[in-house]
Structure 1
Amino acid sequence: MSFERLVKTLHSWLGVLILPWVVAIGFTGLYMNHDDLILSIFPTEHYATDGFDSSPLARPQDEASAEAMAARLAPGADLFLDDEEDRFRHRDVFIFDAGDVDVIVDQATGFAWTDSRYMTRTYAPDGTWLHTRVRWSRVLSSIHERGWVGTALGTWLADITAGALVIFGLSGLVLFAMPRLRRRKNRRAKAAMLKAVVARG
C-alpha cells in the first residue's frame, strides 16, 4: 500500500469514528460562547412552588421529620445537615448532604428535592416523584470537557478525540498537498524534457 493510500485510509476512518464527538464538541463549544441561545433549546424550568402551601399534603417539618423524608429519598446514604445553607428556591428548607446528592426539604410543607450535579428532582411530601429538571449547562460543559457526561473516567475520551482531530487535520493537509506536489513535479519534468528535445534540435 502506498503512503498516500495509507494516509487516505487513516483519514477516512478517523472522520467516521470521531464524527459524533466533533459534532458534540462543536455544539457544546457554541454553548460556551452563546449559553442563553443554546439553553433556550432545552427545557430548563423548575417545578413551580406556587402550589406547595395550598397542597392538602403540606405539613410543617422539623429537623427530625425532614431527616426522615431525606432518608426515604436517599436510602442507605449517610445524612449530614448543612447548618450554613437554609434557603432554596426562595424558601426556608433543611438541606442534607447525602453524598452524591443533596436532599432538600421545605420547612413549611414537606415538599422536597434531590439535587445532584446534573439534575434536580421534585417530590411531594408523601414521596411521590413530581418532576425532573436536567441541569443542561452542566451536561453540556461535561460533554465539552470530557467527551461525555460524568467524571468517573476523567477526560480520556475528550483527549483521544483531540488527538484524533490533530491527526485528522494533518492527514487532510497531506492529502491536499501531495497531488499538487506531484503535478508540479510532473510539469517540471515535462518542461525539462521539452527543453532537452529543443536543445537537440
Structure 2
Amino acid sequence: MNLDFSQLVPYIPFMLKGIWTTIQFVIVSIIVGSILGTLLALFKIGTVKPLRWFADAYTSIFRGTPLILQLMIIYYSVPQLTGYDINAFTSAVLAFGLNSSAYISEIIRAGIQAVDKGQMEAAQALGIPYRAMMKDIILPQALKNILPALMNEFITLTKESAIVSTIGYLDLMRRAQVVGSDLFRNFEPLLFVGFIYWCMVMVLTVIGRMIERRLKLSD
C-alpha cells in the first residue's frame, strides 16, 4: 500500500475549516427542519382537511425523491425559473431543511399519537386552549418518546451533508476533493475527512444519550 499521510500536513488547516462550514449549514438545516416538521406534524393530526392534505402531499414528495435531486433543483433549476441566483449555502439549507422536515414531521406525529389520549381529554375537560395543551402538555411528553429517532435523523443529516460537495460548497467532502486533486492522491484526504465525520457523529451520539438520560431522570 502506497500511503503517505505526511503530504496532507500542509493541507490540514484548509480541511479543518470544513468542519465549521459543514456544522454551520447542518445546524441551520436542523432548525429549519425542526420548525417546519413540527408544523407539518400538527397539520397531520389536525382537523383542517386542506392542511392535512398539504402535509401528506409534502411528505410524500420529499420522502419519495432523492435528496440530491432536490438539491440540484433548488441550486440549478430555481434560478432558471426565477432569474435569481441562489448561493450554495442557501441552496443547501433549503434542500436539507425541507427534506428533513418531511421525516421529522412523521417522527413527531408518531410521538404525539403515542401519548395517552387521556392526557388530551383531561386538558380539554379543563378548558385548556389547544395551542397551550400541545406546547405545555403533549409535545414535552412526545419529545421523550421520539428523542432517539430525532437524534438519528440529525446524525443522518450530518452524514448526508457531504452531498453538498456536488454544488461546489466548500464543506469537508469538497475540501478533501480539492486536496486530492492538488496532490493527485485521493485516499489519504478522503480517509482524513472520513475520520472527522465519524468524530462528529460520535459527538452527536454522546449528546443524544446525555439528553435522553437526563429526560429519564426527570420522570
Asked if Structure 1 and Structure 2 have the same fold, meaning a TM-score greater than 0.5 normalized by the shorter chain, the answer is no
Q: From the two aligned structures, give the one with the greater helix fraction.
A: 2
Quickly name the TM-score band, shorter chain normalised. Answer: under 0.3
The structure carrying a bigger strand percent of its residues is 1
- State the TM-score, normalizing by the size of structure 1: 0.27
Q: Rg bigger for which structure?
A: 1
Using CA pairs under 8 Å that are at least 6 residues apart, name the structure with larger relative contact order, 1 or 2.
2
TM-score, normalised on structure 2? 0.26
